[in-house]
Amino acid sequence: MKRFAVLSLMTIIFLPSSAMAFAPLHTIAIGIEDLRSGYVHYEFLNCNGYTSAKALEDEYNLSSSELQHYGWENSYETCYSKGVAQVTNQVHQFYGKGGAHWFLQVMIGSGLCGGCGYQATWKPRIGQESVGYTGSGLVGVIFRQGRYTVEVNTPSTKRQSLIALARLVNQRIKTTG
């Protein structure tokens, strides 16, 4: 009987990280309760909820084999507006930090490409890797924390709010992810 108990304990200890329970992405992403009053879900972009692999492939010009190779698990996106001001947040989950690092590079390459209107202009200290950008009236940050890649952007006049929101998501990942 003791041998069975020890063997069972060892099985639990050596489960691969992909088999461990992690918080659902919607509990990590920015929620309307995290924003000042007056913000509402921005319905026109259809970006409030889980994102399919196909939508991700289309948005970032990727193949399904690339997402599989780098261990993509899930993505979640939220968009809120208050008048003309918008706050958006994407959280992407991978099986390991290597996939999250790869996707950070994909996001930087697609959003900060020549002619896209965004420029890497600052280096926030959020997560394990990060880049800040400005352009088209927005300020944003893309960062990686462990096996998650995250993007948050706000109107360019709200840089301090952006940093606070990005740090909130980062803390949620550290605590529950």
Spatial separation of the C-alpha atoms in residues 150 and 165, rounded to whole Å = 11
Predicted local distance difference test score (pLDDT) of residue 44: 65
Spatial separation of the C-alpha atoms in residues 177 and 171, rounded to whole Å = 9
Which of 44-48, 77-81, 112-116, 151-155 shows the lowest mean pLDDT across its residues? Answer: 112-116
Q: Which domains does the chain have, with CATH numbers?
A: 22-176 (3.40.1000.70)
Predicted local distance difference test score (pLDDT) of residue 121: 80
Q: Three-state DSSP class for 131?
A: strand
Q: Is the pLDDT of residue 110 over 90?
A: no
Q: What share of the chain is helix, strand, coil (3-state, %, to 5)?
A: 40, 30, 30
Spatial separation of the C-alpha atoms in residues 150 and 90, rounded to whole Å = 6
Q: What is the mean pLDDT of residues 147-163?
A: 92
